[in-house]
Amino acid sequence: MKKFIVLLFLLISVQLYGKGLLGDTLRAKVQKHLFIGLKYAPGFVMQTSNFFRGYNENSAPIDHNYSGTIILGWQSYGDREWEQYYGYPAYGIGFYTATYPGESGELGKPVALYGFFRGPFKRFNKVALNYTVGLGLTYNWKPYDPVTNPFNTVIGSKETVYIEFGTNVSVPLSKHFELVAGGQFNHFSNGSLKKPNKGINLVAPFVQLNYQFNERPEFKWQPPAPISKIWETNLAVGYGVKQLQLDISKMPGVSPWNDKLFNACNLSLNFQRPVSHIVKAGFGTDVVYDETFNTTLAFDEQNNPYKVHGNFWDGISLGFFGSAEFYLNRFAVWTQLGYYVIRKNDNEDGHKLYQVVGLKFFFHKNTFAAIGLRATQFSNADYIAWTIGHRIKWTRKSR
């Protein structure tokens, strides 16, 4: 809390100093709509594991946390066409840190670096009702260890993804200061890259104070272009790795988690078309190979695990999905909600309902790289898929 107060003091000092050195140098080198901000969020820990319910070193529930975030962002005003389509959003990066009172160091001292995007649901004159999404990486967790940290079954690695969804209200306080207040949901997971991985879910109210270096100009508006009605096909291949929990019922003293990595890959075919200037909707199919479905672990004489492969076709799943893609210049955020019509269901990941959320970047006109989190039952991380794909647009000639 003391650090947060110091940072708040520094933020206020910026306004007093802004017309001096900052006015001569920083303003000349960066975009004119740059702002910095500080956010404070007292959170509630969702009780999704026995570790948080009290099965920990202190034998007490862990039900709240405190976090602070330093934000560097840009407020758009319509300089580019897509800014108007998204309602003049703000975007940038955040540096997040958090503490968990009541725990004795079993979680570590996490810090995160992430990108965020804040757009309005509705603007009321100068006040706006917004949504916020954020995605990044979290570091400095203290992971599970069967000897030194045996109770922590929520995080199995030092690094996880950082995911944020929120709603808020933004109110200008002056020509430079802005107040943002609302609520957010945070999720931390490594996508089953290293187990245990029950993950951490937080719900938190927050308050945020922003300082914009230049005075706010008026929003620019121009008549929007017609919405494209062209269908497109996306063909993509993804690859990831995951771990599998062991059956140790007959092996006392052996950790249920190990360092063996299992392969997972998917081939996806997606058909979609724009339904607005910022959203594409469609449908498609997934063929997934998951090594955990056709492979078991056995143990040698030293209790070291090794893989035993079974029928290849037991590892194959077939799913169908509906999709939505939010596109922004060369970037796109895509989501899928699907159902496996063929899937072996005798292990911990054998659920039929699945979800995908990810980020695309078109490094060539129609070729993209992507990273996506595949999950089941809206709560179980399956694996993180690193993806390469290509888009084909259906022109009149191709019909």
DSSP string, 357-393: EEEEEESSSSEEEEEEEEEETTTEEEEEEEEEEEEEE
Q: Indicate the burial class of 155 (C-beta count within 10 angstroms; 0-12, 13-18, 19 or more).
A: buried
The pLDDT of residue 242 is above 60: yes
- What total of structural domains would you count in the chain? 2
Handedness of CA 8, 10, 13, 14 (dihedral sign): negative
Higher pLDDT, 27 or 142: 142
pLDDT digits (tens, 9 = 90+) for 302-321: 777 788 888 999 999 999 99
The pLDDT of residue 11 is above 80: no
Domain contains 219: no
Tell me: do 114 and 143 sit in the same domain: yes
Which helix (H) or strand (E) segment holds residue 43: the answer is strand 34-45
Tell me: do 189 and 315 sit in the same domain: no
Residue type, 207: V
Domain contains 276: yes
Higher pLDDT, 131 or 242: 131
Three-state secondary structure call for residue 207: strand
Domain contains 220: no
Domain contains 92: yes
Closest among 242, 216, 221 to 380, alpha carbons compared: 242
Tell me: do 142 and 270 sit in the same domain: no
Domain span holding position 378: 232-393
Tell me: do 326 and 244 sit in the same domain: yes
Which helix (H) or strand (E) segment holds residue 28: the answer is helix 26-29
Bridge partner residues of 222 (DSSP): none
pLDDT digits (tens, 9 = 90+) for 192-216: 888 888 889 999 999 999 999 988 8
CA angle 150, 153, 155 (to 5 degrees): 110
Q: Over the Cα atoms of the chain, what is R_g?
A: 24
Tell me: do 168 and 272 sit in the same domain: no
As a residue count, the chain comes to 399
Domain contains 217: no
User: What was the pLDDT predicted at 280?
Assistant: 96
Tell me: do 25 and 92 sit in the same domain: yes
The pLDDT of residue 4 is above 80: no
Tell me: do 248 and 299 sit in the same domain: yes
> What is the spatial distance between Cα 6 and Cα 249, in angstroms, rounded to a whole number?
52
pLDDT digits (tens, 9 = 90+) for 166-188: 999 999 999 999 999 999 999 99
Taking residues 68-73, report their average pLDDT: 98
- Cis before 196 (ω within 30): yes
The pLDDT of residue 1 is above 50: no
Tell me, what CATH number does 113's domain have?
A: 2.40.160.20
Higher pLDDT, 82 or 392: 392
Secondary structure letter of residue 195 according to DSSP: S
Residue type, 325: E
Closest among 154, 246, 137, 152 to 197, alpha carbons compared: 154
Tell me: do 206 and 306 sit in the same domain: no
Tell me: do 256 and 206 sit in the same domain: no
Question: Are 211 and 177 contacting, i.e. CB atoms less than 8 angstroms apart?
Answer: yes
> What is the spatial distance between Cα 366 and Cα 328, in angstroms, rounded to a whole number?
14
Tell me: do 132 and 246 sit in the same domain: no
Closest among 311, 262, 319 to 291, alpha carbons compared: 262
Higher pLDDT, 4 or 119: 119
Domain contains 224: no
Tell me: do 129 and 101 sit in the same domain: yes
pLDDT digits (tens, 9 = 90+) for 147-165: 899 899 899 999 999 999 9
pLDDT digits (tens, 9 = 90+) for 89-114: 999 999 999 999 978 889 999 999 99
User: What was the pLDDT predicted at 399?
Assistant: 43
Tell me: do 197 and 285 sit in the same domain: no
